Structure 1
């Protein structure tokens, strides 16, 4: 009699496992049944990091996210505030919004930190965070130099006012 109850318990456990797998598959199928417009609307609310993570969820999501420029354009336009010339040049050369973002995102982050003065008080190259540095062209370095000189002038003016 005990053997019979063990078999029944084992069957119940395996039935539960099968049911949970079936439920998981049906949940995925429900999302797949949504119209593309709804799916894209949901994805449009995601930030860049979440959008990239969602694209790694499954092949279907990866394809939808990867191939729809409407998801990447708003993020790319935010990067354009820092890298206007680069974004405009890439648009003229026919790159997709996703490719433009991939080409310019890291550069825009580093450039914004330089322009905002994050590295103004660093006295030697040793003080620069090596992992986040990004190669930039002479024009970009010129913008950074102008911002630094403006900061120095403002600092001198503040010191003069205090004295």
Structure 2
């Protein structure tokens, strides 16, 4: 049974309580394909955070190209030239995703009009800019003109 108030300290009592709450790592207990299926429902940011939770999870996530490929396909729709170039240069699915993820998010936000009515450059949110090629800027301009 979980204690009602779990204090964060390094005492032996707390460590013993945590051991009782988490008797084993599910990644170790489950077949690899089941662990992979569980990780596959995470979004990109959660997957990255989860991969640094512990060494076991890191190994499973880092070594599973399918997890990263799944997310790459959604990014590719927005950043196809960059994506295809990275894959052509031999980057793994994970590296390709990490190289293009924020660019795709920023591009999607611009295309959806999130920044259409910003009064000045200083009003732009911190992660609203990313280097983009002339074709991407043209796409964004066309979307703005249609609004």
Q: Same fold (TM over 0.5)?
A: yes
| Superposition deviation, residue 26 in structure 1 | 4.1
Match in the other structure for 1:79 = 75
**Kindly tell me: are residues 46 and 150 of structure 1, through their superposed partners in 2, closer, same or farther at Cα, counting changes over 3 Å?**
same
SS in 2 for 1:132: coil
For residues 37-116 of structure 1, the aligned pairs below 5 Å read 37-116=33-112
Distance in 2 (alpha carbons) for counterparts of 1:110 and 1:59 = 31
Please tell me whether residue 124 in structure 1 is matched to residue 86 in structure 2: no
- Any gaps of 5 or more consecutive residues in structure 2? 1-11
Task: Tell which structure's C-alpha radius of gyration is larger.
Answer: 1
| Superposition deviation, residue 124 in structure 1 | 3.1
Tell me the alpha carbon deviations over residues 19-62 of structure 1, each in whole angstroms, 9 at most, x when there is no partner: 6465467413x641322222112211222222122212101111
Distance in 2 (alpha carbons) for counterparts of 1:121 and 1:70 = 39
| Superposition deviation, residue 69 in structure 1 | 1.1
**Kindly tell me: are residues 127 and 96 of structure 1, through their superposed partners in 2, closer, same or farther at Cα, counting changes over 3 Å?**
same
**TM superposition score normalised by structure 2:** 0.77
SS in 2 for 1:27: coil
SS in 1 for 2:24: helix
**TM superposition score normalised by structure 1:** 0.70
8 Å CA contact 2:106, 2:127 repeated in 1: no
Match in the other structure for 2:24 = 27
- Any gaps of 5 or more consecutive residues in structure 1? 1-13, 152-163
| Superposition deviation, residue 148 in structure 1 | 1.9
